[in-house]
Amino acid sequence: MTNQNKSQLFLLIGFPLILLVLFLANISIGSVKIPVWKVGEILLGMEGTKSSWINIIWQFRLPKAITATLAGAALSVSGLQMQTLFRNPLAGPFVLGITSGASLGVALLVMAGHMVGSVILYSGTFGHWLTIIAASIGSALVLVLVVIVSIRIKNSMTLLIVGLMFGSATSALVSILQFFSDKEQIQAYLIWTFGSLGGLSWKELNAFVPIAILGLIITLTSIKPLNALLLGENYAQSMGMKLKKTRFWLIFSTSLLAGGVTAFCGPIAFIGLAVPHLTRLLFNSSDHRLLVPAVIFVGAAIMLVCDMVAQLPGSEYVLPINAITSLVGAPVIIWIILRKRNIRNSFAG
Amino acid sequence: MNRKVSNTVPLYTQDLQIGYQSGKRHRTVLDRINLSMERGELVCLLGENGVGKSTLLKTISKIIKPLSGDVFINGKSISKLSNIEIAQNISLVLTERINTGMMTVYDLVSLGRYPYTNWSGKLSKEDWKKVDWAIDQANIAALSNLNAMELSDGQLQKVMIARALAQDGEIMILDEPTAFLDINNRLEIINLLKSLAKETNKAILISTHELDLALFSADKLWLATCCLPIVVGIPEDLVLKNALQETFDHDNFNFDLQTGRFAVKRAFHQTIGLEGPEPYFTWTKHALNRMGYAVVDNDETMNIKITKSGNDYEWKVNRLQDHLKFDSIESLLKGLNSVINK
């Protein structure tokens, strides 16, 4: 085993530990101050703490930490898949128009609420589920179109462009809807676009967790074709990889992962694009056998950190997660690029 | 006819028609293709750019479908073989530039084992052995821990050849393997392929438009000319049959039967006599030809004689009454210009 392999192994063992620490730290932070040891006691199910604290931990912070972990992992993995599939460093989970489709669904829902003259449709528990369903239908529709196109098209670059076009068209529809909407509707829609990790209760997690895990399992079974794709589609096919089949599964799992996150948490930017690059540089590898698990850990860890920053520790405000992911992430990436100067080399494409 | 080929022939085609199909329209590139390859043979598919070399290679390796006819690998039609089975028989080296990011040469070569590994791509002992063997055969052991993207073009080409070897088919197909390489690397790659064909007993097919490399290395040539059947033979027979001249028919070039090279057709405007020792004679002639002088043994008006004076050589020009001396070919050419323009 070479030195490089050793350090990779160390990182791969080290990251789950870091993740665990971040997970606990994430739960410990919030507008209500709860001592860390009390958090531990509550999580271990010990008696003797304030019931309001138990409630906060179990009904709010734990679901939110689980959501952040899964959302970070899901977005990062789908970003990695799209970058490898399209051999493009600027590809991310949303290049195929998933967010735009979801936005259109939510915008239509808000607009429908406007027409029946009520805001019930997008507020409260019922409204929350409606939003999730609308976003899912919107992104699913765009993805069905993309998949149909992908079956007919040989060239993945064409598919990328078609995906971008779908995205632009749906965004245009959203703009038109906004134009005809009231202030309240636009605000409701805008708040959805800020993204939120805290909106999921255990009920919603019951739907989100299986979707995300199924998506991750499909990716894990695609590791071998992903590695072959590093040589480009033609070489991959010459080694016996079935391009259309591989492409279908990659798009399918991306739609589960990125579509799921967007439906439940709103559009969360940056993570899916940046984490794969960050991970490649950290682990100094393009091998997906290492990258896929590593990206899961790094993505989850960064999302947990971003969520903690969004809590503005010590204050009662919670900032939009979408803004924090970019604010925290962008300088980190710039710093790494300037230090290593080889993101171009690190990227396969 | 080579239609009655036994099953031991690794690759043959039957009335193959190749080209591109889009909807109901199709464009034939090459037609009536009946070719076969033997084990241990280096075949050069030679033709001008755009004649359909890549299309033929892609059709043979089942990347595109034939318009009609069929390709047989070990006696089986490729239409009946799965992608994995094709990959186990044919490995490719393509012209496209790859960017694998941060991947070592060793890992890149081991990707060649793709058609043999399970779903996770984990290599077995047998696979490791094949990878080591391929790296050894391609003489790239010294590179194996380097990042593949840090290699020179020539080194990377050897790595891609090793990857194809690791894929371990009986047939290896390389599309323009010497394009983008300098002369040393071109020769090295061609020699490597030649020895691989002999030592590994694989059938190696390369496409190229570089005639000189093909002439001096191929066991067999496939000459592709637009709209005509492909001509097959060993290089020397094809030269003597004038087949090369016909394939590379061009207004500005002549095929020189003596040197096996194409030379620019020249229009000479004047003759000049030249005598002297080699290699001075040859290179002086070369320079004079370049300037538009036809060189003869003895000319009526102008003669050049190369003689030794001390340790150096000098060029003496006799033109009617003029007698001039020069100490280099450059000054000779300048002198000739001024003499003639006088």
Band the pLDDT of B1: cuts 50, 70, 90.
very low
Beta bridge partners of B171: B90, B203
CB atoms within 10 A of CB A318: 16
Mean pLDDT (chain A, rounded) = 84
In the prediction, which pLDDT does B22 show?
77
Q: How far is CA A138 from CA A102, A109, A166, A321, A342, in A?
A: 4, 10, 12, 22, 38
* Average pLDDT value for residue range A117-144: 73
What are φ and ψ of residue A348, in 5° steps? Answer: -95, 100
Binary contact (B63, A237; C-beta < 8 A): yes
How far is A178 from A192, CA to CA, in rounded Å? 14
Q: Chain B partners of A290 at a C-beta cutoff of 8 Å?
A: none
State the DSSP code for B300.
S
**B269 falls in which pLDDT band (50, 70, 90)?**
confident
Average pLDDT over residues B22-41: 87
Q: Give the pLDDT score at B303.
A: 87
Helix (H, G, I), strand (E, B) or coil at B91: strand
Of B85, B100, B120, the CB nearest to A286: B100
Q: Which residue has the higher pLDDT, B225 or A67?
A: A67
How does DSSP classify residue B104? B
* pLDDT attached to residue A103: 87
Q: In DSSP terms, which residues pair with B77 in a beta bridge?
A: B72
**Residue B135 binned pLDDT confidence (cut-offs 50, 70, 90):** very high
Which of chain B's residues have a Cβ under 8 Å away from the Cβ of A230?
Answer: 98, 100-101, 103, 111
* Local confidence band at B124 (pLDDT 50, 70, 90 cut-offs): very high
Chosen from A238, A242, A279, A290 to mutate, greatest number of chain B CBs within 10 A:
A238
Residues in contact with B18: Cβ distance below 8 Å, sequence separation at least 6, in sequence order = B28, B29, B30, B31, B33, B52, B55, B56, B59, B64, B66, B67
- Hey, are the CB atoms on B147 and A345 less than 8 Å from each other? yes
Architecture of the domain made up of B11-252: 3-Layer(aba) Sandwich (3.40)
CA neighbor of A185 nearest in space, from A225, A127, A234, A144: A127
Residue B342 has pLDDT above 90, yes or no: no
Amino acid code (one letter) for B338: S
Instruction: Give me the pLDDT at residue A186, please.
Output: 85
Residue A86 confidence (pLDDT): 85
How many structural domains are present in chain A?
1
Q: In the CATH scheme, what is the code of domain B270-341?
A: 3.30.160
Judged against a pLDDT cut of 50, whether residue B3 lies above it is answered with no
**Which residue of chain B has the CA closest to A243?**
B83
Q: What is the pLDDT of residue A1?
A: 39
3-state secondary structure (DSSP) of residue B49: coil
The reply to whether residue A347 touches residue B99, judged by beta carbons under 8 angstroms, is: yes
Q: For residues A157 and B298, what is the distance between their CA atoms, to the nearest angstrom?
A: 66
Tens digit of each residue's pLDDT (9 = 90 or more) over A194-221? 888 888 889 889 989 999 999 999 999 9
Best to test chain B binding among A2, A286, A291, A342 (most B CBs inside 10 Å): A286
Question: Would the CA dihedral through A97, A99, A101, A107 be positive or negative?
Answer: negative
Helix (H) or strand (E) run with residue A255 in it: helix A243-265
pLDDT, tens digit, 9 for 90 and up, residues B291-313: 888 888 888 888 888 988 888 88
Do the chains contact at B114 and A287, CB–CB below 8 Å? no
Residue B120 tokens, joined: 């996770």
Across B124-152, b (16+ Cβ under 10 Å) vs e yields eeebeebbbebbebbebeebbeebbbebe
Nearest Cα neighbor of A303 from A171, A196, A184 is A196
pLDDT of residue A150: 76
Which ipTM was obtained for this model? 0.81
How far apart are alpha carbons A340 and A280 in whole angstroms? Answer: 12
Chains A and B form CB pairs within 8 A to the count of 90
Confidence grade of residue A269 (pLDDT, cut at 50, 70, 90): confident
Q: Which residues contact A117 (CB under 8 A, 6 or more apart)?
A: none
Residue showing tokens 């509550």: A42
What average pLDDT does the segment A228-236 reach?
A: 92
In chain A, % of residues over pLDDT 90: 27
CA nearest neighbour of B300 among B319, B282, B281: B319
A170-197: per-residue pLDDT in tens? 889 988 888 888 888 888 888 888 888 8
Kindly give the interhelix angle for A271-283 and A288-310, rounded to the nearest 10 degrees: 130
Residue A240 pLDDT class (50, 70, 90 cuts): very high
Assess whether pLDDT exceeds 50 at residue B2: no
Q: Provide, as residue numbers in chain B, all residues whose Cβ is less than 8 Å from the Cβ of A232.
A: 94, 96, 98
Place of tokens 């069929």: B70
**Least CB–CB distance from B121: residue in A238, A284, A289:** A289
Higher pLDDT, residue A155 or B141: B141
pLDDT attached to residue B98:
87
- What digits encode the pLDDT tens for the residues A278-296? 888 888 888 999 899 999 9
pLDDT at B136 over 90: yes
- Alpha-carbon distance B128 to B125, whole Å? 5
DSSP string covering A147-183: HHHHHH-S-HHHHHHHHHHHHHHHHHHHHHHHHTS-H
Q: Taking CB atoms and an 8 Å limit, are B100 and A289 in contact across chains?
A: no
Domain that holds residue A40: 3-346
Start-to-end CA distance of chain B, whole Å, equals 66
Residues found in chain B: 342
> Where do the domains of chain B lie?
11-252, 270-341
Amino acid at B139: N
Q: Taking CB atoms and an 8 Å limit, are A238 and B145 in contact across chains?
A: no
Q: Is the pLDDT of residue B314 over 50?
A: yes
Instruction: Take residue A196 and report the two structure tokens written for it.
Output: 């939120």
Can you tell me which residue has the tokens 């160390």? A10
Mean pLDDT for chain B overall: 87
Q: What is the CATH classification number for the domain harbouring A145?
A: 1.10.3470.10
B217-268 pLDDT per residue, tens: 899 999 988 778 888 999 888 888 888 777 776 666 677 777 777 777 777 7
Cα gap B221→B46, rounded to integer Å: 7
Strand partners, B274: B304
Distances (CA, A) of A37 to A32, A64, A248: 15, 19, 47
Token pair belonging to B132:
């080591």
- List pLDDT tens digits, range A86-113: 888 878 887 788 888 888 888 888 877 7
Cβ–Cβ gap A235/B92 under 8 Å: yes
Scan residues 75-114 of B and list those with Cβ closer than 8 Å to A.
Answer: 82-88, 90-92, 94, 96, 98-103, 107-108, 111-112, 114
The kind and range of the H/E element at B25 are: strand B25-33
CA-nearest of B264, B97, B114, B229 to B176 is B97
